[in-house]
Amino acid sequence: MSSQDKDNRPPDIEALLAEVDRRVAEKTAQGLYDPAEVRRVEEEALSLAEASQDSSAAELAYRAAQLQELWDTTVCGVSTHRTGLAGRLVAGAKRLLHRITKPYVNLVLARQVLFNAEVIKLLSVLSANYSDLRYQLGSELTETKRSAEARLSALERQAGAGHARLENLLAGLQETLRDRAEADSPAARAALEEARDAARGAAYLAFEDLHRGSRDEIKARQRPLLEHLAGAVGPGAPLLDIGCGRGEFLELAAEAGLPAMGVDRNPEMAAHCRERGLEAHAGEALAYLRGLDDESLGGIMLSQIIEHLEPDYLVELVAACAAKLKEGGVLLAETINPQCLSTLASAFYLDITHRNPIHPEAARFLWRWAGLGEVVIINRSPVPAEGRLEPYQGSGQGAMIDAFNRNVTRLNQLLFSHQEYVVKGRK
């Protein structure tokens, strides 16, 4: 092993302390240390040894022990024990020489002794501060660990409660299905959907809070849509927001002084709206519409709803909406535009509850099939210019550049046009 490797090895603390003890015992036997000083050295070495188990604390303990042993330069290590006449003569000569030179040596070394004493005191203070710091850090780490474990336990309890709730709902549903003659009946399917909505409502509300945008952002986007309904909605002909969600559109109607109510199959969403002072009902849209009088509504809003529905259900829903509108009432729906292909990657498939993108011409047909007129498609939310392909602006061969730019325009229309559209029809 090289000398460099030996220098890099961590000190053997037990061996070092044993060596210090041995040297102190030898010098104590020689009468070189007074008992009080020996006790002080031993106590300081012990406190340093116990300060820490890591390598830095061990090194500190070792260096402190070395300083404690060597700090007093006035101590003479001359042996005064010799055997025989010659030995006694040599020892006597040494004692005489030591007695004669000691005052002068002490005078020379006095400043060094003071310096060494101050080093020992400083080291003692640093050792104590180091111990206090380690104790404080250990306490903080313990508290942090305890807090993290408490939070983890709380999350585990919350997850367990959610799982138990879902299991209870499904167990109750299974019990209901066993009591029915036909498990695949419409009533059984409705019960299953109701149980799923109850179990997953909070999760979808959290999903919207994370990905849909803030309330102010949604209200700013929906405010222009209210203008299409304002002329048809009034006293005795309120607005119905189907799939009202967090209630942003209901808030806009209330701020405009328009009577409005909402319905959402997610009970958590409906409860959230009611907490904000809005009228909202939890339930399935078709069932809710069938409970209303015909021609009792001035306007119906479907914001980001129709892409969630199965085709047959969507046809039934549009027909039911048309039946509940008064003469001159408006049915308005906003949805993702599948003619802008980038929205499929960035928005449509982000929400796993989306079923089918609805082509704008398919929506126009459904509105007309339900007996609505003045059906128009309104494109919204164009892709910003920085998100579109840029045409070539430089100089070069005219025909080639024109062809390139025409292709860029076609690609922009296909990939980066309007992200949403609104279909509007009047009864």
Question: What's the pLDDT score for residue 144?
Answer: 73
Q: Is there a single domain that holds both residue 123 and residue 209?
A: no
If you average pLDDT over every residue of the chain, what do you get?
75
C-beta of residue 37 within 8 angstroms of C-beta of residue 49: no
**151 in a domain, yes or no?**
no
Give bridge partners of residue 261 from the DSSP assignment. 240
The average pLDDT across 206-217 equals: 61
C-beta of residue 342 within 8 angstroms of C-beta of residue 416: yes
Q: Is the dihedral of CA 255, 258, 263, 264 positive or negative?
A: negative
Residue ending a domain, choose from 142, 175, 207 = 142
pLDDT surpassing 70 at residue 68: no
**163 in a domain, yes or no?**
no
pLDDT in tens, 260-280: 999 998 888 899 999 999 999
Helix pair 55-70, 35-51: axis angle to 10 deg: 170
pLDDT in tens, 390-413: 887 777 667 778 888 888 888 878
Side chain identity at residue 276, one-letter code:
R
Question: What's the pLDDT score for residue 318?
Answer: 96
CATH classification at residue 253: 3.40.50.150
The average pLDDT across 53-62 equals: 56
pLDDT surpassing 90 at residue 331: yes
**190 in a domain, yes or no?**
no
**376 in a domain, yes or no?**
yes
pLDDT surpassing 50 at residue 137: yes
CB under 8 A, 24+ apart: contacts of 129-132: 130/51, 130/52, 130/57, 130/60, 131/47, 131/51, 131/52
pLDDT surpassing 60 at residue 231: yes
Helix pair 35-51, 13-29: axis angle to 10 deg: 180
Give the residue numbers spanning the domain of 298: 199-426
Q: Is there a single domain that holds both residue 42 and residue 126?
A: yes
Question: What's the pLDDT score for residue 247?
Answer: 93
**119 in a domain, yes or no?**
yes
The length of the chain is: 427
pLDDT surpassing 60 at residue 78: no
Q: Is there a single domain that holds both residue 219 and residue 116?
A: no
Interior/surface letters 268-293, b for 16+ CB within 10 angstroms, e for the rest:
bbbebbeeeebbbbbbbbeebbeeee
**419 in a domain, yes or no?**
yes
**78 in a domain, yes or no?**
yes
Question: What's the pLDDT score for residue 51?
Answer: 45
Q: How confident is the model at residue 63 (pLDDT cuts 50, 70, 90)?
A: low
Question: What's the pLDDT score for residue 381?
Answer: 83
pLDDT in tens, 109-135: 566 666 666 666 666 666 666 666 767
Question: Domain tally for the chain?
Answer: 2
Angular region, 304: left φ>0, alpha ψ -120 to 50, beta rest: left
Question: What's the pLDDT score for residue 402?
Answer: 81
Q: Is there a single domain that holds both residue 116 and residue 203?
A: no
**20 in a domain, yes or no?**
yes
